[in-house]
A and B are shown apart, each in its own frame.
Chain A
Amino acid sequence: MMRFRLEKRPEPSKLMLYGTPVAAVVLTMILGCLLFSAIGYNGLRAVQEIFFTPLTNPYKWQDLGIKAAPLIIIGTGLSVAYRANVWNIGAEGQYIIGALAATSIALLTWGMSGWWILPLMAIAGMLGGMAYASIPAFLKTRLNVNEILTSLMLTYASVQLIYYLIRGPWKDPMGIGFPQSRLFSEAARLPNIIPGTIVHLGVPIAVIVALIAWFVMSKTVFGYRMRVVGAAPHAARYGGFSENKTIWLAMLVSGGLAGLAGMLEVAGPFQRMVPGFPTNYGFTAIIVAFLGRLNPLGVIVAGVVLAITFVGGQVAQTTIGLPDEATGIFQAMMLFLLLAGDILVRYRIRRISPEASAGAA
């Protein structure tokens, strides 16, 4: 009988490190094709529409841009935090609070004009996200409460805060009772950067944010610190890097960027606060961060890949009647395969001969 054993590699395999995300995407396509063929859809068309139509049809590029932008910004922040082994799962909540903080500025300055309004909203957004992320950071560093639970649960609280604000203090006087804020004034809306499209300023900002993060993470002491703390906590402690300080930094960076994404989203595509504002970008960005190998440059690519599945999922609904849930299945499959594949980065599969295994047993 043939037997296999996982054997730890002396050092992580570079090939596998960059190979597994690609393999995960390719395998997702193959398995997805088989799965949807098995239940009576045209599996090949499904994969074609979801993964390729958004790329081949220029009309879809603008959609990819605006869908990928928040994913890239949040994913970049998360990749920094996850590098340091700080598991901020509540980016969605920080994204929401950032958007609410930005909305408050937009409503306070309603009817005014001036170039300073948007930057002020961006600052408010980041501060809002940071403030919300500092709650799990405080609980973790002072009381050693698991940040996964606190950050996740705070997300649900933030959604309730939206409902409270738009039903009460921020209710649109013109909205015939619909709980939503009023439409922002011109000065509080992100300008479109390409005339005739819906591409707003948030798209280039996302790329710039990721590039800056890449530079900081790979070329500065801060980046070194985050990586060392994550990779070798003991060594980091000997090296004089405070663990608590790292947790704070990781939470503030990831929360601040999520808040910035929230501001860009509310000032860009939404232009008002509505109950449907939370669309799980904060959770999808977790997939983006891991698919991008916790590297800001990888996050750009991964953000676009996830955006493709969203946009393509809707194309597939109209062209071949694929149900909406298919998009979620493809995304989940991708993350699962990626995480499963990760084991190959650190371990290799060894065939063990029957005699040796018998001896071992």
Chain B
Amino acid sequence: MTLSRRGFIKVGGAAMTLPLLGGTAFGQAEKLKIGFIYVGSINDNGYNYAHNQGRLYVEENLGDAVETMFVENVPEGPDCERVVRELAQQGCKLIFATSFGFGDSVIKVAPEFPDVAFEHATGYMKADNVGLYNARFYEGRAVCGVIAGHMSKTAKAGYIGSFPIPEVVMGINSFVLAARQVNPEFTITPVYISTWNDPAKEADAARAMIDQGIDIVAQHTDGPAALQVAAERGIVGGFGQGADMSAFAPDTQLTAIIDHWGPHYLASAKAVIEGTWVPGDTWEGLKEDVVQMGPYNAKVPADVVTAAEAMRTGQIDGSVHIFTGPINDHTGTERVAAGVTMTDAELLSMDWYVEGVIPPA
């Protein structure tokens, strides 16, 4: 990191001090500038860390052909708008906005910079120069769910969510569907903390749910705080989210969902360099290696590992889709008929919980 920063200063220093007014006018042809906007810290060891790894992956693979910059801890609101503009004015021709709540800002600013390619992660609004990209995190959730179903003694898991958006709801549903295939008594209690990244809130939520008798914790927030609480309280375990978090809870992380954005970022960067970029709408998962599973913990029994691997490889070869009916909602009403698989459009607008979820008040 430090090395690349220093190099950055040497190379970019002279050009940067030029007034930014004329910045876009020269020096563009040889180097593609790419900007990344993160909602949290690159040191969160989770979601934002994973995006930043993707940025480094592009640097490693394209070397001098690109120059990347990033802004971290950007609030989802007008501040993001300013950061998008800032990056565009700095001469970035490809900008990745990596959080759901950046959508409004990207859509607002993109028309001002028609020659800049924007990509928004996990969003739903496209435009002429705004593409979307996402990962099938729910596939990883299903693998975690299998392990939870086997290993939980109380058959109760807690799930720390940020906001009840389809992305998160889908993950909860996938987790509980997989767990209930193993143990039909399995239930899950989601808690929403209204932020992607607040270690104190994540930890508090984990503590409260453990007090209520859960022995597995999963989270759709950015950091390892919940896992650390799980380790401290000695419950069965939890899962890494975004990145391998085993360093924070070596005996507690059962496995992790690892976001591997690098290949996608690399492909987009190449497309912009070659002039072939068009706003895409990608949604890749285990099969494309955009979602990876972390190592299984030593305490996960061999038969459970086998079951989890079956879920993983089944989703890769296409023989398993976790959202295949019959699926009932949390009130017991059938929502998906036997043998029918939900479409991507249905998944991306999912606003109901499956059976086994105890909806938050």
Which residues of A are interface residues toward B (Cβ below 8 A)? 40-42, 45, 56-59, 63, 66, 163, 167, 176-179, 198, 269-270, 274-277, 279, 311, 314-315, 317-321, 323-325
**What is the distance, in angstroms, from B82's C-beta to the closest C-beta of chain A?**
5
Q: Report which of B8, B19, B79 forms a contact with A279, defined as CB distance below 8 A.
A: B79
Please name 19 further chain A to chain B contacts, defined as beta carbons within 8 Å, in addition to the given A274-B101, A318-B35, sorted by A numbering.
Answer: A42-B9, A57-B20, A59-B20, A176-B166, A177-B164, A177-B166, A178-B100, A178-B101, A179-B194, A270-B77, A275-B194, A275-B195, A276-B77, A314-B82, A317-B70, A317-B71, A318-B71, A320-B8, A324-B73
The 9 A-B pairs with the shortest beta carbon distances in the complex, nearest first, are A269-B78, A324-B73, A276-B76, A318-B69, A321-B5, A276-B77, A317-B71, A177-B165, A275-B194
B9 touches A318 (CB 8 A): no
Pick the most buried of A56, A57, A58: most chain B CB atoms within 10 A of its CB.
A57
CA distance A318 to B68 in the complex (A): 9
* Nearest residue, chain A, Cβ from B36: A318
CA distance A40 to B100 in the complex (A): 33
* Nearest residue, chain B, Cβ from A268: B78
> CB-CB < 8 A to A59: which residues of B?
20-21, 85, 89
How many A-B Cβ pairs are below 8 Å? 94
B19 touches A57 (CB 8 A): yes
> Number of B interface residues, CB 8 Å?
44
> CB-CB < 8 A to A324: which residues of B?
41, 71-73
* Nearest residue, chain B, Cβ from A280: B75
A198 touches B164 (CB 8 A): no
> CB-CB < 8 A to A269: which residues of B?
77-78, 81
Pick the most buried of A177, A270, A320, A324: most chain B CB atoms within 10 A of its CB.
A177
**What is the distance, in angstroms, from B81's C-beta to the closest C-beta of chain A?**
7
Q: Does residue B219 face the partner (Cβ distance < 8 Å to A)? A: no
A176 touches B19 (CB 8 A): no
Proximity string of chain B (175-213) to chain A, C-beta cutoff 8 Å, 1 when within and 0 when not? 000000000000000001011000000000000000000
**Given A63-B82, A320-B8, A324-B72, A274 contacting B77 (CB threshold 8 A):** yes
Pick the most buried of A56, A270, A323, A324: most chain B CB atoms within 10 A of its CB.
A324
**What is the distance, in angstroms, from B37's C-beta to the closest C-beta of chain A?**
10
What would be 26 A-B contacts, judged by CB atoms less than 8 Å apart?
A: A40-B2, A45-B9, A45-B13, A57-B19, A57-B21, A176-B349, A176-B351, A177-B165, A177-B169, A177-B351, A178-B100, A178-B101, A179-B163, A179-B194, A198-B81, A270-B78, A279-B75, A279-B79, A311-B82, A314-B74, A317-B69, A317-B72, A319-B12, A319-B69, A321-B69, A324-B71
> CB-CB < 8 A to B142: which residues of A?
none
> CB-CB < 8 A to B351: which residues of A?
176-177
Q: Report which of B71, B86, B194 forms a contact with A163, defined as CB distance below 8 A.
A: B194
CA distance A323 to B13 in the complex (A): 17
CA distance A315 to B82 in the complex (A): 10
Q: Does residue B256 face the partner (Cβ distance < 8 Å to A)? A: no
CA distance A277 to B79 in the complex (A): 10
**Given A177-B164, A179-B163, A279-B77, A318 contacting B70 (CB threshold 8 A):** yes
* Nearest residue, chain B, Cβ from A63: B82
B21 touches A58 (CB 8 A): yes
* Nearest residue, chain A, Cβ from B15: A319
Pick the most buried of A66, A277, A314, A321: most chain B CB atoms within 10 A of its CB.
A321
Q: Does residue B146 face the partner (Cβ distance < 8 Å to A)? A: no
Q: Does residue B124 face the partner (Cβ distance < 8 Å to A)? A: yes
* Nearest residue, chain A, Cβ from B348: A176
**Given A269-B77, A320-B8, A276 contacting B20 (CB threshold 8 A):** no
